[in-house]
Copies of this chain bind each other. A is one copy, B any other.
Amino acid sequence: MSQLATMNVTVAPVDKFREFLLTKKMRLTPEREAVVTAIYSSHDHFDADQWVDSLAGRKGSMLASRSTVYRTLHLLQEAGLIRKVARANDREVYEHDYGYPQHDHLICKKCGDMIEFPNEMISSVLETVAAEHGFRMSGHRLEVEGICAKCSRPPQRTHRKLDMI
């Protein structure tokens, strides 16, 4: 979430989530609030496990169980606050999907780095394709894999020793 500009956000994520839950006659419980707060305390990509660790037992105090973390992640997706962007290292990777412009990712197979790029072109192509098929598109997930510039540069420069071992 680094190279793209932040958009205006008028309602705090927690409140947006509460609103969403209300429409489904559900409550913003302390456990759910803990998950949202944790996730929105940083602006990076994240996977479920780090929150399971810090919220449920292993590393922190018990704020929400494993099941609750996962269930809340699903709710947050439904609410449009986060979205799954890729699967890396056997984990689903999520990112905030509220207050940020649309983009997709180049994923480096070597270092695992995810490079964001804006996707208006792609979205508009998809709109056309979908229309042709009478398909009501609600979203997409695009993972472009390959080797990033850093990793494909042959290791030949000076101060290379710092990068190795």
Query: Which residues of A are interface residues toward B (Cβ below 8 A)?
Result: 87, 106, 108-109, 115, 117, 121-122, 125-126, 129-130, 132-149, 152
Q: For the complex, what is the distance from the CA of A125 to the CA of B119, rounded to whole Å? A: 9
Q: Of B125, B133, B149, which is within 8 A of A148 by CB? A: B133
Known: A106-B129, A126-B144. 7 other contacts (CB 8 A): A106-B133, A106-B135, A115-B133, A117-B132, A134-B148, A135-B146, A135-B148
* B133 in contact with A149 (CB, 8 Å): yes
9 contacts between A and B (CB under 8 A): A106-B135, A122-B126, A129-B144, A134-B149, A135-B147, A137-B145, A138-B145, A138-B147, A140-B144
| Residue numbers in B under 8 Å from A132 (CB-CB) | 117
Shortest Cβ distance from A139 into B: residue: B145
Task: Choose among A109, A133, A135, A137 the residue with the greatest number of B CB atoms under 10 Å from its CB.
Answer: A135
| Residue numbers in B under 8 Å from A108 (CB-CB) | 135
A146-B139 in contact given A117-B133, A125-B125, A133-B115 (Cβ < 8 Å): yes
Q: For the complex, what is the distance from the CA of A128 to the CA of B101, rounded to whole Å? A: 20
